[in-house]
Amino acid sequence: MRLVLLGPPGVGKGTQGRRLANDHGWALISTGEMLRDAASRGTLLGLEARRSMDAGMLVADEVMIGLVKERSEETDAHHGFVLDGFPRTVPQAVALDRMLESRGQRLDAVIGLTAPESELVSRLSARYECPVCKRAYNRVSAPPRVDRRCDDHPEVELIQRVDDREETVPKRLEVYREQTAPLLDHYRGQGRLTEVRGTGPAEEVYRALKAALGSPQASR
Ligand code: AMP
């Protein structure tokens, strides 16, 4: 199963994508996470990407397409993958189709997670993540067992992403509306988009997601 999870920042793509990938033995390809890793390792790509990320802007299409091409060829992605955060522009979507076609593959599903913008703003400002396993917590709706400590890595303190700061969130939402939302129409026009409500308890969203995917089997 090769799946794209679309949706605005804070809608739950990372949380749901991670769970789907773990439960089915697929690779989770999160482009934001790849860029943050590269930035923390201080690679040239990471340092360049950091400037765009911290400002809430997108990294260039060619860079992202190259990253996903390489990553999706790795062994753990052979049985399937969940793309979280890619594509984010129509040219990225077109490149993804071409890339898969050249391998004799195709996307099996495109899911758009939805939530009202007011909820996204409050979710993003309450979001913290574990720097080790990248699990996301929410101070209000999904807090860790011990304040500011990851349930699985209590030795490290949870951190807030720079781009989740109050001053950057409006820019990210604007970039989403202008550059990424047109992708919904792109896939809808091709009859490939399934929308799933991203609000409510994470467990219910997960059930709805699996229903939309038709309960795929592991490693298919
Ligand atoms: P995310 O973790 O998906 O919210 O991504 C964090 C940031 O990484 C974004 O705000 C962009 O700056 C950058 N980024 C991640 N994925 C992409 C992409 N597919 N195209 C361009 N920029 C991206």
92 pLDDT tier (thresholds 50, 70, 90):
very high
215 pLDDT tier (thresholds 50, 70, 90):
low
SS3 state at 146: strand
Pairwise CA distance, residues 172 & 40, whole Å? 21
Kindly state if the Cβ of 17 falls inside 6 Å of ligand 1: no
Domain ranges of the chain: 2-115+171-219
Residue 127 a catalytic site member = yes
Residue 192 a catalytic site member = no
How many CB atoms are located within 10 Å of the residue 211 CB? 11
Phi/psi region, residue 185 (left: phi>0; alpha: psi -120 to 50; beta: rest), is: alpha
Q: Give the containing element (helix H, strand E) for 197.
A: strand 193-197
Question: To which residue do tokens 């890595």 refer?
Answer: 153
Ligand 1 atom closest to the CA of 33, numbered from 1: 2
- The sign of the dihedral angle between the CA atoms of 171, 175, 178, 180 is negative
Residue 218 has pLDDT above 70, yes or no: no
| Superfamily of the domain at 2-115+171-219 | P-loop containing nucleotide triphosphate hydrolases (3.40.50.300)
User: What is the pTM assigned to this prediction?
Assistant: 0.92
Protein residue with its CA nearest to atom 5 in ligand 1: 32
Kindly state if the Cβ of 58 falls inside 6 Å of ligand 1: yes
Q: Average pLDDT, stretch 97-118?
A: 96
Q: Average pLDDT, stretch 213-219?
A: 60
Q: What is the mean pLDDT of the chain?
A: 94
Per-residue pLDDT, 140: 85
Decide if 87 contacts 96 (C-beta within 8 A): yes
Instruction: Name the active-site residue from 71, 123, 127, 135.
Output: 127
Length of the chain: 220
